[in-house]
Amino acid sequence: MSKSNGHAEIHAEEEKQAASAPEPEILPAEILPAEVLPEDPPVVPAAEAAADSVAPPVTDELHKLRAERDHLFDRLARLQAEFDNYRKRAGKENADFREYALTDAAKMLIPVMDSFTLALKNAGAKPEDFQKGVELIHKQFQEVLQKLNVQRIAAQGEPFDPRFHEAIEMVESNDVADNHVLEELQSGYRMKDRLLRPAMVRVARNVTKDSGN
């Protein structure tokens, strides 16, 4: 056998073996080692991404609300302080008014006291002179009450009014109309619309009216 035939047989044998050899197995990408796979970028949840996108406006709104809250608290504190000062000032003014009102009343009563003192010094005078002096003092005192807006409540012969009269007893009498004041025992007084003291009275109950029933 020649050398050329030998080489040809060897070449044919190699081609036969190559044709019969199994093809190399190709592994799927998912089962390749981790270090072989390319790294994917981290996945950011949509909610977090949206929050990041609106974070600056929310922060600005929060700062605005806090500033407004601090302003309102400061204003409230100022108003409370002003109200406390007003209350103290009003209380002092009311106290001063009452004190000055009493002072004016006392000044008006001092002359009346002087008249009483003078009358006592002249107690040994004639009875008619002494009586005249007391009547003058009584008139003087009435003028003082009038200046203080103190008015005497009308009672004698008036219809009984429980707002201004205090009935001590009911008396059978025809001297006045039924349920009218028969006698005033103690005068009553009021200052404008305020009752200072009711008048103590006796109230008449007509006999003829009772007997007719």
Q: Extract the tokens encoding 95.
A: 């106290």
pLDDT < 70 regions, the chain: 1-57, 209-213
pLDDT at position 185: 95
Determine contact, residues 184/160, Cβ cutoff 8 Å. Answer: no
Q: How far apart are CA 199 and CA 166, in angstroms?
A: 6
Determine contact, residues 207/186, Cβ cutoff 8 Å. Answer: no
Helix (DSSP H) and strand (DSSP E) numbers for the chain: 4, 6
Classified as helix, coil or strand, 42 is coil
| Domain 151-213 of CATH type 3.40.30.10 | no
Domain locations in the chain as residue ranges:
59-148, 151-213
Write the pLDDT tens digit of every residue in 43-77: 555 555 555 555 556 788 888 888 999 999 999 99
Determine contact, residues 190/148, Cβ cutoff 8 Å. Answer: no
pLDDT at position 140: 94
Instruction: Give the count of alpha carbons within 13 A of 28, CB side only.
Output: 2
Q: Which CATH class is domain 59-148?
A: alpha beta
Q: How far apart are CA 15 and CA 169, in angstroms?
A: 154
Closest CA to 185 of 171, 172, 206: 171
Closest CA to 160 of 211, 209, 198: 198
